[in-house]
C-alpha cells in the first residue's frame, strides 16, 4: 500500500490520483502541485506554507508569497505579533477568495506543532539567526521544504547540518538572499565572470560592524511573550525590547547586533554583499583560506580575506554605503541596490555577447523556490550556497574577535592548528536542543 495515500483509498481513488497527477503535469501552471519532499499531493492548487516567526520580516514575506502560495499557519512566541500576522493573512485570503469572513489560518505558540501538520508543504523561517538551523533541520526531517531568511546559519557547524538535512530528506531550501534574483546584481556578476573588468585582483565589500557580546540591562517581561521560547537553544540573557520590540514598534529589532543571537551587521548585510562577491568570483562552493584582521584591535573595518587563487576580498568602506566593488585590470565595477556603475563607465553599460555564459536567471526569488519544489532542481540560492555565504560572515566575525590571522580549510571546514578558533565554529546549545 502506498503510505502516502489515505488508509481507506481503493483502486478507484488510486486511478483518480494518477489521473489528476497527469492532468496537473499537462496543464502546467506556475503554481507547483506535487511536493517532492514526502511525495504527497498538495491539498490545493497552491503550496501550503507555514510561517515560523511572524514579526516584521514575515509580514513582508507573506505579501510577497500571497499570490503564489497560501499561508495556512504561523508560529510565534509573541502572541501580539502572531495575532497581527494572522490579520494580514486573513485579509489576503479574504481578498483572494472574495469571502469577507474567510479564515483558513491557525496560529501556534510552539513551532513543533506546526511542523506536525501533514497539509503544510513548506515553511518560511524568519526568526532571529540563532534559531535557523534547529528549525530548518526539524522542518526537513518532517518533510517540509524551507525558505530560510539570511544569514542562513549562525555558525559554520549549523550551516553544514542544514546542508546535510536538506540532502538527506530531499527537500528544497531557498535562502532569502533575494539580491540574486535582481537584474542589477545578476548583470554585475555576468560582467565580472565574462572578463569585462579583466582579471579580478580585489573585491571590496562595505557592510556594517562585527557582532558584540550582549551588554543590555534587563527590562520587565511583557505578559504576551514567552522569553524562554524566544531564547531557545541560545545562551539565556535578560529580556530587552532591543531584542524583541513590541509589535506596534514596526522596526527591525537589534538582536542581530549581539553574538548570542546574530552576527552583527557584518552578517546581517554581509549575507547579502559577501554573497554577491562570492557569486561574482565563482566561489559559491568554497571560501577564503586566510582571514587577516586589522592591526588596530578596536577596528570594525579592515579585515582581509584571501582566496586560494590569490584574489583578495576586504571588508572596507569604499564610500558608497552597503555594496560591492570588483577591482580588475581594466577597471572597477560597483554594485548595490541603488546603483550599478563602473570606472570607466562603458564597463557597466556593456552588452554581453550572445555566446557568453550567463549565471542562473531568477527574476522572482519566491516563485523560483516554488518552481524548484516542483521540479526538484536547486534554486538560485540553494542550501550549499547559503551555507558558504553565511560561513564567510561567521568566519569574519571570529577573525575580528580573535584579533589575529587565521588559516581556513574550506574543504574540512576547520581552522588549521587553532583549537581556540575552532571552538567557535559550533554552538553550545542550551537545554535539550540538538541539530537532529
Q: What is residue 45's predicted lDDT score, i.e. its pLDDT?
A: 66
Q: By the 8 A CB rule, do 258 and 212 touch?
A: yes
Q: What is the DSSP string of 229-271?
A: HHHTTSPP----TTTS--TTS-S--GGGGBTTT--HHHHHTHH
Q: What is residue 101's predicted lDDT score, i.e. its pLDDT?
A: 65
As a whole-number percent, the residues of the chain with pLDDT over 70 amount to: 89
Q: By the 8 A CB rule, do 183 and 211 touch?
A: no
Tens of pLDDT, residues 274-321: 999 999 999 999 999 999 999 999 999 999 999 999 999 999 999 999
Q: How confident is the model at residue 14 (pLDDT cuts 50, 70, 90)?
A: very low
Tens of pLDDT, residues 89-135: 999 988 887 776 667 899 999 999 999 999 999 999 999 999 999 99
Bridge pairing between strands 304-306 and 290-292: antiparallel
- Looking at residues 412-425, what average pLDDT do you find? 98
Q: How confident is the model at residue 48 (pLDDT cuts 50, 70, 90)?
A: very high
Q: How far apart are CA 417 and CA 436, in angstroms?
A: 28
Cβ atoms within 10 A of the Cβ of 268, count? 22
CA triple 117-120-161, angle to 5 deg: 90
Q: What is the DSSP string of 43-112?
A: SSSSEEEEEE--SHHHHHHHHHHTTTEEEEEEE-SBHHHHHHHHHHHHHHHHHHHT-TT----EEESSHH
Which has the minimum average pLDDT: 1-10, 37-46, 211-220, 283-292? 1-10
180-211+265-425 carries CATH number 3.30.360.10: yes
Which conformational region is residue 394 in: left (phi greater than 0), alpha (psi within -120 to 50 degrees), or beta? Answer: alpha
Fold of the CATH domain 18-179: Rossmann fold (3.40.50)
Confidence check: pLDDT of 32 > 90: no
Q: What is residue 36's predicted lDDT score, i.e. its pLDDT?
A: 43
Confidence check: pLDDT of 25 > 80: no
Q: What is residue 102's predicted lDDT score, i.e. its pLDDT?
A: 65
- Looking at residues 49-58, what average pLDDT do you find? 98
Residue ranges matching CATH 3.40.50.720 in the chain: 18-179
Average pLDDT for the chain: 91
Q: What is residue 20's predicted lDDT score, i.e. its pLDDT?
A: 40
Q: By the 8 A CB rule, do 106 and 72 touch?
A: yes
Nearest Cα to 69, choosing from 61, 77, 78?
Answer: 61
- Looking at residues 246-250, what average pLDDT do you find? 95
Residue 346 CB contacts under 8 Å (≥ 6 apart), including other chains = none
Confidence check: pLDDT of 399 > 50: yes
Q: Is the peptide bond before 344 cis (omega within 30 degrees of 0)?
A: yes
- Looking at residues 361-377, what average pLDDT do you find? 97
Q: What is residue 46's predicted lDDT score, i.e. its pLDDT?
A: 83
Residue ranges matching CATH 3.30.360.10 in the chain: 180-211+265-425
Which has the minimum average pLDDT: 33-47, 159-173, 280-294, 398-412? 33-47
pLDDT higher at 408 or 2: 408
Amino acid at each position: 500500500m502506498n503510505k502516502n495515500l489515505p488508509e481507506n483509498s481503493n483502486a478507484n481513488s488510486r486511478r483518480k490520483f494518477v489521473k489528476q497527477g497527469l492532468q496537473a503535469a499537462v496543464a502546467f501552471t506556475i503554481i507547483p502541485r506535487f511536493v517532492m519532499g514526502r511525495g504527497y499531493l498538495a491539498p490545493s492548487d497552491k503550496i501550503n506554507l507555514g510561517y515560523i516567526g511572524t514579526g516584521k520580516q514575515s509580514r513582508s514575506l507573506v505579501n510577497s508569497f500571497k499570490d503564489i502560495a497560501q499561508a495556512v499557519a504561523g508560529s510565534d512566541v509573541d502572541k501580539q505579533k502572531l495575532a497581527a500576522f494572522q490579520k494580514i493573512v486573513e485579509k489576503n485570503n479574504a481578498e483572494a477568495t472574495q469571502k469577507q469572513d474567510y479564515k483558513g489560518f491557525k496560529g501556534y505558540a510552539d513551532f513543533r506543532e506546526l511542523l506536525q501538520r501533514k497539509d503544510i508543504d513548506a515553511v518560511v523561517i524568519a526568526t532571529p539567526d540563532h534559531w535557523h538551523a534547529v528549525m530548518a533541520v526539524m522542518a526537513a526531517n518532517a518533510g517540509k521544504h524551507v525558505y530560510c531568511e539570511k544569514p542562513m546559519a549562525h555558525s559554520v557547524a549549523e550551516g553544514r547540518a542544514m546542508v546535510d538535512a536538506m540532502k538527506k530528506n530531499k527537500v528544497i531550501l531557498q535562502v532569502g538572499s533575494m539580491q540574486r534574483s535582481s537584474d542589477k546584481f545578476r548583470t554585475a556578476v555576468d560582467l565580472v565572470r565574462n572578463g569585462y573588468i579583466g582579471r579580478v585582483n580585489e573585491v571590496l565589500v562595505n557592510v556594517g560592524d562585527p557582532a558584540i557580546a550582549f551588554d543590555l540591562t534587563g527590562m520587565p517581561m511583557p505578559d504576551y511573550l514567552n522569553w524562554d521560547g524566544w531564547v531557545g537553544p541560545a545562551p539565556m540573557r535578560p529580556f530587552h525590547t532591543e531584542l524583541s520590540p513590541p509589535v506596534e514598534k514596526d522596526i527591525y529589532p537589534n538582536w542581530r547586533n549581539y553574538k548570542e543571537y546574530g552576527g552583527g551587521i557584518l552578517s546581517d548585510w554581509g549575507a547579502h554583499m559577501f554573497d554577491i562577491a562570492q557569486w561574482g568570483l565563482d566561489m559559491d562552493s568554497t571560501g577564503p583560506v586566510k582571514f587577516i584582521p586589522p592591526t588596530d584591535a578596536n577596528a570594525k573595518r579592515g579585515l582581509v580575506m584571501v582566496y586560494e587563487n590569490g584574489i583578495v576580498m576586504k571588508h572596507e568602506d569604499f564610500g558608497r554605503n552597503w555594496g560591492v566593488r570588483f577591482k580588475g585590470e581594466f577597471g572597477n565595477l560597483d554594485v548595490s541596490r541603488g546603483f550599478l556603475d563602473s570606472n570607466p563607465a562603458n564597463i557597466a553599460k556593456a552588452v554581453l555577447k550572445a555566446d557568453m555564459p550567463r549565471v542562473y536567471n531568477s527574476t522572482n526569488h519566491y516563485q523560483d523556490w516554488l518552481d524548484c519544489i516542483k521540479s526538484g532542481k536547486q534554486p538560485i540560492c540553494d542550501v550549499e550556497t547559503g551555507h558558504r555565504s553565511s560561513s564567510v560572515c561567521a568566519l569574519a566575525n571570529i577573525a575580528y574577535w580573535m584579533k589575529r590571522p587565521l588559516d581556513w580549510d574550506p574543504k574540512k571546514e576547520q581552522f588549521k592548528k587553532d583549537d581556540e578558533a575552532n571552538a567557535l565554529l559550533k554552538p553550545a546549545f542550551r537545554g535539550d536542543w540538538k541539530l537532529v
